[in-house]
Each structure stands twice: as structure tokens, then as C-alpha cells.
Structure 1
Amino acid sequence: MGRKSQINFLKTIFPPFTNRNVELLVNKANQHVAQYLRQSKLYMIAARAQASFVNYRVDKKEGKIYLEIQVGSEVVDSGVIHLSKCSEIQDNSEIKLTGGAVLLGGTKKGTHVKVWLTPDSVYWHVARCTPYLEGFTRHDLVCDYDLLYVGIAKQQDSYQRLIKNAHHGRLRVLSEERARKPGAHPSDEIILFLYGIEPFSIQTITAEDDDYGFFQGAEPERVIADAEKAFVSLLNPHYNLTKFQSYPKGEDGLYGTGLNNYGYILNENFRFNTAAAQFKGFWSEAGFDNRQDAIFIEGDKVELYFGDEMNELPIQ
């Protein structure tokens, strides 16, 4: 008999940002960003000791900004911004540097910024080969997070549910989490991730099959609902009250939809840690990479594959 499989790649639709930045994203001046964030239905909340730009220096003659990145109390990486390669800004544009952000091309007050970089977002841009960034190679030391909550927006979108409104999970995290860096505020250590999902479907047909219809892939709403359950049930984030202990069984997920097997891969240079497990992603333009971990489901069996075990995934 023929088989149907689907691997779902999770990719953030916008660079990760701290809870401190939420105020900027709900500002009327950034409604163009808000419209983009509304494409997401799946989100995660994580934390890491506060990361900051330190020892930054502008060399206007060379047209470069030199930066180091500190996580907690330790400098872990460095890089350069080449202003001449940044097509988004004009010559002699305003440059504003703080520990939390590099703002290029805006006004003196920091509004109408053309380029906004943070210690988290530089690695998102480097992975996508942004031409004006050099260095910033230690994503393994910076993009290493404690996963606290996984959620979906069923009737709304991630922007409305997580950012614009007073999301219960985010408020609980902010009220209960302690600072990881002495003297830091949790709002600077709580990071938000908004995802889109890109499915990759495989279908095999044999002579015994009665139905030769082309498999269009699982319904996106079911994929999103199933993804939440998969990550929560395996990684057990602390602030998720519902644990989905009967997963993969469920009425609104992918169980019983005709898929022989299916799974989830994080196509980003992030690593998420919980008391139950660790899940590591890796950015790949092609999608598949043997450095990515994967959650894989077949029937009632749910397994977590690590890195080089990806070659053993039973996708048929």
C-alpha cells in the first residue's frame, strides 16, 4: 500500500525579540511590522541571561561598527557591521548604539529606523547571509534558551494573542521568572518567537492502491494544533499547564488523518532546553540538515531524534 508522510519545518517569520521590545511592536509607527507578525499562529516563550552589545565602536573612516556580545557577565562573541554594504540606509545616516540595540537610518530620537539589530537578531540575519554582517559565529552560545511556554492562536494570530493583548502565559512568566543575570530585569531576558510552518510532503503509490489522488498535505490548522501538542508533550515547558499526555491522539491534530508518519524540525539556529529534554535546530536553506533534531510520529509512537540520527528517520 502507498504511504503519506509530512515533515513540518518551523521557521520564525521575524527575528526573536525580548519582552522589552513588545512596546515598540505595538506602536502605531510599526504597524507594518505588526501586519507581518499576524501571519504567525504558533509561538514560543523562552529565557536566557540578558544579552547585550558591549565595547562597541564606530569607525566612520572605514564605515564599520565593531561590536562584542555579552551574555550574562561573559563576552562570548564579536562581529562587524559594514555600513557601506547596508543598502537600507543612506550615507551619513543616524547611528544609535545601546546595549540592547543598534539602530541605523532613523531620526536622532531613534524613530523610523531602517535597520534594527539586537544581540538575538544578528544571528537570525547572519544565518540568512545578510551582506553587511561579518563575524557573529557563536550562535550556540547566544541562541541557547530555556523554553518556558509553547502556544497557538486558534481564533486570532500570534501578534494579537501574544503581543497586543495581555497574554496569560507571558504575564505569568514575567511575574514568576527570576533574573538570570544579577541586576537584570526579566523583561530583558524573556524572548518571544513567532513561527510559520513550511510543510514537506512525500507520497508513494503502489498498484494495490484504489485512490490515486495527489496528496495536497495536511490542513494547516491541524498542523499548527499538532505542533503545539508535540512540543509540549515531549519537552514539557514549565508554564504550559495542559501537558497533552495522550499525544499523539487528539481530535484537532494529525492523528487519524491518513498520514502514515509526520514530524517537526526547527529550521533555525536555536537550542531550547527544559528539565525534560533539549531540542536543537539548525538553519538550512534547503530545509534538511543532519545537525537538526526532530520530533517524529508514526501511529501511537512518538520519538525525539537528535542531530546525526536524522539520517535514520523512517520517512517513506
Structure 2
Amino acid sequence: MADKGFEHISANILRLIMAPMSNQEAYWLSSERKFMDFATSSQIYMLAQREEILFANIRVTDGEKPAITFDLEGVSFEARNIRLELNQPFFAKFGSDFDIEYGPKVLKFIAPEHFEYLTIEKLAFAKSHAKLEIEIPNLDTINTFRLHYVGISKDRDSMRRLFADGHQGRTNILTNGFPIKPGARLTDELFILLFAVETLQFKTYAVGGDFSKFGDASAITQSLLVADAEKAFLKFLKTEYNTETFENYPKGRDGLYNLDLDGYMYSLGEDLKLTTDTAELRGSFEPIASARRGMRADCIVIRGNTVTLVRAG
């Protein structure tokens, strides 16, 4: 504990506001006002690549236990006979009478008052967030992405930064990158991850500590958080398409460095693994398990001028 009689630690967790979506899907959604309004909650984003995985051999079963059974196929990924039960709470809003349409990229559920579509990424996301009960073998492969770019939008939200303003990093990836699957379109392999930053403040004090000088959590604004988070992740995950790697981090004018914090940390609050040529970072939907069990996600820890990557476990 610091000599001032108390210690103020900021634990910051990046949470996806929605499932990862392909660049193609994001392009389509960028023209939907309702979606764009929803996406305003994200000011930090990542562009990452993973082979395209497709639905195959889709079968729909009616009766007392309606279900969709399918395979998943990719270049290096294969899973057979995955069963999605349709009589679970996720589908309750559709009632008992709805149509199902499907193809290699998406499952669609259609009722007079409701519509839902599930990509493979949305299935994995819903399972991770305990919204769907489904067993998917080798789920880690679906949730592993090669990170190409980390960015923020200081004045707008992530989607408008990427699609309304023209984004050089995204353009460079689509122009110069190579698909993993022969014959695939890079727009189907490039995924957009939209994050919001969730912050938790931990304050401990010694007997006789001066409460009047207890760190002010209100000074940690969202704009400071996203600016600092971008630098923290790029400090370790040196991507191919970010031109600035922030080697002097944590020092900087637009982050948390100059606030009265004894330490701060960042973790990825999703069941994802991000890789680059030099590093990897593993997240977890429950990054902080307990004091006894420790961290389930890798954590970037900053104290003073020292930045350390603490592995989960």
C-alpha cells in the first residue's frame, strides 16, 4: 500500500457489445440505422482475421424436440453433428410457429413479429454469454483470431469511424492482405470486434488514512480509458497494420498515466484469443474468477512506468 494511506487500482475490462462480425456483414449493417444507433456504445475496435467457417449438411427436425443439426467446415476446422435445440428460452419469442431459412453462412428464424439470424460467430458468442445451450467441439478455434489492427474513435463511435469516415487501416488490410482459405474473399475472413470498456475501481485504505485525498474515480472518463486501452494492447500485441506502437507507454497525454492511480490493468472479458507474430493474449468472459483462483484472462498491469503482462492461472 502506498505511503499516502490508501491505494487506488483501476481494473478495466474490454467487453464485446456484440458477436464478432465479418467485414462483409458489418458493411451490410452499416446502412441500418437501428444497428448504427446500437453500435454507438463502442469506441474501441479491433480488426482481426480467421478462416471462414461455414455451415454444412443442415437438417431441421420437427416434433416434440425441434432442433437444427449441422456440421461446421473450414480449411483447418471440422465439427460434425452439432445439435441446436429450438425449445430453449433463446427462441421463446418466436412461439411455436416460425420459419427457418438457412445457408452456408447463416441460420435465419422468421416470425410475423420477430426476426433473428445466427452466424457461427453469433452462436459462439451466445454460448459464451450463456444465452444458448449448444455443444460446439473445438470452440477455441472459432474464437481465435489473428489481430491486424487496434483503433479507437475519440469523437464518434467505432462503426462510424470504420465505415462513414473511410478507414485507412481497414482499407490497407483488404487491399494488401491474403485470405487463409484458397479462393476465399478477404472481406469474409476479416472480422470486426466492437468493444466497450467496463471499469472497476478498487480502493483500500490503512487505519488513519486521509480520505480527503482518496482518488477520484470520476476523473477516469471513457475517452481517457479507450485512449489508454488502445496503447496498452498495442504495447504487447504489435500488429502488422498499426503504424504507431506506443513504445513510450504508459507515458502519454491522453491516458491514465497522469491520474492519481497506484495501478491499473486491462483484460479481455470475452472467450477470445488474439494472436500476432510476436504475442498472444487470451481473454475470458469471467476474467476475474476469485481471489483464490486468480485471473482467468491474461492481464496487462501498469504500475508507475512498469508494464507487465500477467498470464492467466
TM-score (norm 1): 0.89
Give per-residue Cα distances to partners, 1:8-36, cap 9 Å, x unaligned.
Answer: 011001111001102321234xx222211
Seq. identity, %: 27
Aligned match of 2:9? 5
Q: Shift of the alpha carbon at 1:215?
A: 3.6
Equivalent position to 1:301, from 282, 300, 306: 306
Residue 121 of structure 1 corresponds to 122
- Residue 94 (structure 1) aligned to one of 63, 82, 99: 99
Distance in structure 1 (CA, Å) of the matches to 2:166 and 2:105: 24
Report the 3-state secondary structure (helix = DSSP H, G, I; strand = E; otherwise coil) of the residue aligned with 1:84: coil
Counterpart for residue 71 of structure 2: 68
Pair 146,184 (structure 1): closer, same or farther in 2 beyond 3 Å = same
Deviation at 1:63, TM superposition (A): 1.3
1:242 corresponds to which residue? Answer: 244
Task: Please report how far the alpha carbon of residue 113 of structure 1 lies from its aligned counterpart in structure 2 after TM superposition.
Answer: 6.4
Indicate if the aligned counterparts of 1:100 and 1:118 stay in contact, CA closer than 8 A. Answer: yes
For residues 1-316 of structure 1, the aligned pairs below 5 Å read 1=4, 2-28=6-32, 31-61=33-63, 62-76=65-79, 79-85=82-88, 86-105=91-110, 114-131=115-132, 133-206=133-206, 207-209=208-210, 211-213=212-214, 215-216=216-217, 218-284=220-286, 290-308=295-313
> Shift of residue 106 of structure 1?
5.8
Letter in 1 for 2:115: K
SS of alignment partner, residue 58 of structure 1: strand
Q: Distance in 1 between matches of 2:239 and 2:76?
A: 26
Q: Distance in 2 between matches of 1:80 and 1:88?
A: 20
User: Shift of the alpha carbon at 1:198?
Assistant: 0.8
Gaps of 5+ in 1: 309-316
Q: Give the TM-score of the pair, scaled to structure 2.
A: 0.90
1:103-135 residue CA offsets vs partner (Å, 9 max, x unmatched)? 11168xxxx96221111111110012124x321
Specify the code of the residue in structure 2 equivalent to 1:209. D
CA distance in 1: counterparts of 2:26 and 2:9, whole angstroms: 38
Unmatched 5+ stretches in structure 2: none
Q: CA deviation at 1:156?
A: 0.8
Alignment partners' CA distance in 2, 1:307 and 1:75: 28
